[in-house]
Homo-oligomer: A and B are copies of this chain.
Amino acid sequence: MPNNGKVKPGYKRTLDLKHGCVEMVHGNGGRSMAQLIQQMFVAAFDNEFLRLMNDQACFPVFGGRMVMSTDSHVVTPLFFPGGDIGSLSIHGTINDIVMSGAKPCYLAASFILEEGFPLADLKRIVDSMAQATKAARVPIVTGDTKVVEKNSGDGVFITTTGIGMVPEGIYISCENARPGDKILVSGTLGDHGIAIMAWRENLSFQTNIESDTAPLHDLVAKMISTTSNIHVLRDPTRGGVASALNEIAQQSSVGMMLYENKLPILEQVQAACEFLGFDPLYIANEGKLIAICAAEDAENLLNAMQAHPLGNNAAIIGEVIEDTHCFVQMQTRFGGKRVVDWLNGEQLPRIC
C-alpha cells in the first residue's frame, strides 16, 4: 500500500465504518489514505511483512521453481450466495497458483475504489478477504489503494497477485495432456455462475444455489501426494469446463472425448441452465478443478479426490484422444456425438 505510513501521534480520528463512504481524499497519498490503510486494511490483514508498511514486502524464499499469477476481480454483485468479491479474490489467485502444483506462499492485493462506496461494505469485503487468507494460510504481504471518481468505477475492483513454490519433481502444465489420459473434475459444474446469474435475475430458485468459491491447495496437495504423475491441472473459471478443455487441447495438440452422462451437475443447476438457456459446460466455477492424468493413475486419483471435502463429487468425465484438429467432443446421453466448441459471444459478463 504505497504511500501508507502509520498515523501520526495525536491524530486519532477513526474511520466512520457505519456511515462513512470512500472519498477522493482516501486516494491522495496523505493522512486520510494512511488512515484508511491502517484502520481498514492493516487491521484486517495484519502480519509481520505488511506491518513494516514499506511500498513493497520483503521475505525469504528458497531456491527452486516459483509461480506467479494475477487476477483482477470485477464480479457483480459484490456479495452473492456463497461468497463475495473478497473471498473470491483470494480463492481465485490461490487456485491459479495451485494449478501448477505449487504451494501458495504470499499474496498482494490492490484495490480500485469508487468514490462514495460505503465503508461498511468495504469492511465486510476486507473481513471476508482476511478470513479467506487465514483459512488458506496465505498472507497478504503488500497492497495498494486507488480511488476513482463516482461513475468512473463500480464500487470495488480487487486485483490479487500470488506467488508460490513448486515442489521438487512436479511438472504440471497445460501442454502435458497425452492421448489415453483420463479427464477428471473435482465436483459439480456451474455452481458459481448459476448462483450469480440467479441472484442477478432475482429468480425464485436462487436460494438453493451457492457459489462454490473455495481454495483448492489442500485438495491439490492431497492429489499430488497420491500420484506424482498428474499431467494437467486447471480451474475452469470464466468460460467453464468447455473453454478450459479447448485451451488444454490446443496447448497439448490433442483431442478430447467427454461422456455427458458422467458430468456431475446439481439438479438445481441443471434446471436453472435449462430455464435460462445455458449449457453448464460453459458456466464458471470457482472451487473446482480439472485434472488430467495417465489412465492407470485415474482411479487412485479419483479416490483421493473423493476422500477430500472439496472433491466429494469428483468424477472421471472423459479421456484425451488423438486429434490433429484439437477438437473437444462429447458422447451425448443419447449415444450421439457433438463438438464442444469454444465459447463464442457473450454469456455471463463480470462473473469473477
Residues of A within 8 A of B (CB): 2-6, 8-9, 23-25, 27-34, 52-74, 96-97, 99-100, 102, 106, 108-112, 141-149, 151-154, 157, 159, 161, 163, 166, 173-175, 234-235, 237-240, 243-244, 246-248, 250-251, 282, 284, 325-326, 342-350
Which residues of B are found within 8 Å of A24, using beta-carbon distances? 346, 349
14 contacts between A and B (CB under 8 A): A2-B96, A5-B246, A9-B325, A29-B237, A29-B239, A30-B282, A30-B343, A53-B251, A56-B68, A68-B163, A69-B108, A74-B146, A112-B159, A149-B350
Closest chain B CB from A254 CB (angstroms):
13
Chain B residues near A33 (CB, 8 Å)? Answer: 238-239
A70 touches B3 (CB 8 A): no
Q: How far is the CA of A250 from the CA of B55 in the complex (A)?
A: 14
Q: Which 10 interchain pairs have the tightest Cβ spacing?
A: A29-B239, A30-B343, A29-B238, A5-B247, A56-B69, A161-B161, A70-B108, A159-B159, A152-B154, A63-B63
Q: Are B29 and A349 in contact (CB under 8 A)?
A: no
State A60–B345 Cα separation when bound (angstroms). 38
Say whether A29 contacts B284, CB under 8 Å. yes
* Neighbouring B residues of A56 by C-beta, 8 Å: 67-69, 96-97, 99-100, 102
Q: How far is the CB of A93 from chain B (nearest CB, A)?
A: 9
For the complex, give the distance between the alpha carbons of A303 and B282 in Å: 61
Chain B positions within 8 Å of A61 at CB level: 61, 63-66
